[in-house]
Amino acid sequence: MCFACVGEAAPSDPQVVLTVDWQDCLDGRQQTFFTLDFLPDGTVTYEGKNEIREKGTRVARIDSRHVRQLVQSATKAVSPGAPQAKTSPYEERPLFCLKLKVGDGSSLLTGNVSPEDKPGKKLHRQLLRYLDLRPWVCPTRGWAPEEMARCAPSPIFFSFIERETCYASHAVHLWPDGQVYYYANKVADSDRYYKIDPAVVKRLFEIGWQLEGGPVFAGMQHDHKVRHFQNPSALIEYKQTLTVLANVPWQPLPLSEDNSCSDDRLVFPQGTVSLYR
């Protein structure tokens, strides 16, 4: 299954034999998260653009034989007879698409493929096998780039929403090696990446596991390896704990522009403490 039409591409560097734009296709924005350009000698140029860790240009090298294999797979994915793009908003769309340019300026094939189709799935697997994207992409606030690069899931996730700023939220991910990723939703350039003592992450997990109020298992079977807490007292307590132990750099959030969150029937703060063993 594909999204977006095959189209003509502008002339490109004749040395570049494959360009892959990793795009958001789920909501039709076609926003590019990052781009990879492959040269025949194995040079790979990465250009980070949106919702990924490393923005700007990075360069890596892979085996030239792998470039040839990628070109073959990409050519097959956009050749006549391959699954055609689906543009209707009523059709199911993939989480992300690979927008391809294959060949040089004199012979260029273009098109969008989905990793859910057989040709696109093979190409995606090869790309991840030959090039580790995680140092450039992960961690990320977006589901699509997270799936693109196979980012490691975080065992601790925290989100926090207050009434006065109910259209924005704080989010924190923590990993066992001490990596911390914080961002404020709806706030540009608020992403923060840093590391703390892994023993502190272990302590934060233990504290979270013992929160009062009972875990929530909404929409899922009871799992002794997963806990989600959503009651306000647990959220306030855990936010204070993250401030003290993890030095989370909470950013100011924009105030809500209307009074839709002022209804007293709505309970704040909202959010979740999610823990995965």
Res. 150 pLDDT band, cuts 50 70 90: very high
Give me the pLDDT at residue 27, please: 60
State pLDDT tens for residues 252-266.
999 887 777 888 888
> May I ask the CATH architecture of the domain 2-149?
2-Layer Sandwich (3.30)
Binned at pLDDT 50, 70 and 90, residue 46 comes out as very high
Averaged pLDDT, 13-17 = 74
pLDDT of residue 111: 87
Q: CATH 3.30.1560 residue ranges in the chain? A: 2-149
The yes-or-no verdict on residue 136 having pLDDT over 50 is yes
Q: In this structure, which amino acid lies at residue 106?
A: S
- In the chain, the percentage of residues whose pLDDT exceeds 70 is 84
As a whole number, the mean pLDDT across the chain is 86
- Helix then strand count (H, E) for the chain reads 6, 14
Say what the pLDDT of residue 8 is: 38
For range 70-74, the mean pLDDT:
95
Interval 82-88 mean pLDDT: 53
Q: Are 45 and 57 in contact (CB under 8 A)?
A: yes
What confidence tens digit (pLDDT) does each residue in 151-170 have? 999 999 999 999 999 889 99
For β-strands 107-113 and 226-229, DSSP reports them as: unpaired
Residue 230 has pLDDT above 70, yes or no: yes
Q: Which of 57-66, 77-86, 218-227 has the lowest mean pLDDT?
A: 218-227
Model confidence at 221: pLDDT above 90: no
Pairwise CA distance, residues 122 & 132, whole Å: 16
pTM of the prediction?
A: 0.83
Segment 68-93 mean pLDDT: 74
% of the chain exceeding 90 in pLDDT: 60
Bond preceding residue 139 cis, omega within 30 of 0:
yes
Q: Are 213 and 231 in contact (CB under 8 A)?
A: yes
